[in-house]
Amino acid sequence: MCSKQWENNEEINIFREYLRIPSVHPNVDYTACVDFLRRQASSLNLPMDVVHPKMPSKPVVVIKWQGSSPNLPSIILNSHMDVVPVFREKWTHDPFAAEMDDEGTIYARGAQDMKSVGCQYLAAIRALKATGYRPKRTVYLTYVPDEETGGDCGMAELVKGDYFKSMNVGFSLDEGMASEDNTYPIFYAERTMWNLRLKFNGTAGHGSLLLENTAAEKFQYVLDKLMEFRRSQSQKLAENPSLDVGDVTSLNLTQIQGGVQSNVVPPVLEALFDIRIAITQDLDELEKQIRDWCDEAGGGIELHFELKCPFVEPTKIDPSNPYWMAFKKSLDEIGLQTHEHVFPGATDSFYVREVGIPALGFSPINNTPVLLHDHDEYLRAETYLHGIQIYKKLIPALADS
Ligand code: ZN
């Protein structure tokens, strides 16, 4: 198949148009995204709302496909409109031109994460409408801002408001991740995220002395303990091939601050840790352990949680969850090989699960390198079009479940 054939494909053209909108951090302007989605909604003859849960510059677009039984809980097909920054010099293609090579490979920021998914939902609905199909449950397409900076102005606020309540959501489908082999990962949970800043207070003085209880000694003690814990998690991962990083706790030192000049022992040193906690780990126990290490180090250490997410129940992947059963069955029927995973990072599904709604993460991208947030992010036209077929199967399965 040569690229000429892809170039005349309506769905590929719509996808590339969306990719060309530079909705990139920082300070994303969402105007062009909203305009694009308005054109899409009107071409599908579906009503569209724009709501602003946090502030006017952070729109959430909601496209509604009314079901034949509108009193049943609805389905949301969520995607985020924003993309992460690019290092242009590292790209072999303009990241916002959506260039396509001879093999039909489309290069653009957002090609995998996740403008593809947002457009595939639209394409699947277009195809379903063409067959005369109408869903039983109402299906909402939600396009949210600022997922890549934590979702505070998007999904986190949306789920708290009356507009969301009025949507009567029963289930949410959102992004997953590409897979390098033939299989498709399905994400039913996320690790619990903590950003912990430790402030080590110690004896200050002249750099020529051997003072006791210095900030550096305390830092060393606690860092050793934390790194030992980190090693135990790496080992767990290495010893069991059925685990992946989402199944263990990751802990990384990401910032260090302190000191004024070389001959002054500083009164305080600070260290920031990114911690993503396995769903099997008891949170209170972990916090107590860290506090104990701080005490053993000599005290005077302050713990500041810059982010301390609560534990959120994983979405059930058993017969008690009819949406899961419908989801899995429809993928099985089209012969897709799937695996259930805990998402290693964070997505908007966190906020949806937090308010008690089951949510799954799934991106229909296999046999493709995982390039989200990477240079030369791409998706093959063939993979994109196959994904539309997958949603064409999935959406009715969920909406009629
Ligand atoms: Zn994403």
Q: pLDDT tens for residues 57-90?
A: 999 999 999 999 999 999 999 999 999 999 999 9
- pLDDT value for 2: 58
CA of 12 to the centre of ligand 1 (A): 20
Q: For residues 173 and 401, give the distance between their C-alpha atoms in angstroms, rounded to a whole number.
A: 14
Mean pLDDT throughout 331-336?
97
CA of 186 to the centre of ligand 1 (A): 14
pLDDT band, very low/low/confident/very high, at 5 (cuts 50, 70, 90)? confident
Mean pLDDT throughout 333-346?
95
CA of 90 to the centre of ligand 1 (A): 21
- pLDDT value for 246: 95
Residue % of the chain over a pLDDT of 90: 98
pLDDT band, very low/low/confident/very high, at 3 (cuts 50, 70, 90)? low
Whether the bond into 358 is cis, omega within 30 of 0: no
Domains of the chain, earliest start first = 3-175+363-399 (3.40.630.10), 192-308 (3.30.70.360)
Catalytic residue among 113, 146, 147, 377: 147
User: ∠ at Cα 272 (271, 277), nearest 5°?
Assistant: 135
- pLDDT value for 4: 76
Active site annotation includes 340: no
CA of 164 to the centre of ligand 1 (A): 21
Active site annotation includes 285: no
CA of 347 to the centre of ligand 1 (A): 7
Lookup result for tokens 């860092």: 223
Strands 99-100 and 184-190: unpaired
Q: For residues 127 and 392, give the distance between their C-alpha atoms in angstroms, rounded to a whole number.
A: 7
pLDDT band, very low/low/confident/very high, at 303 (cuts 50, 70, 90)? very high
CA of 147 to the centre of ligand 1 (A): 7
Identify which of 81, 5, 23 has the alpha carbon closest to the alpha carbon of residue 50.
81
Catalytic residue among 82, 113, 146, 174: 82
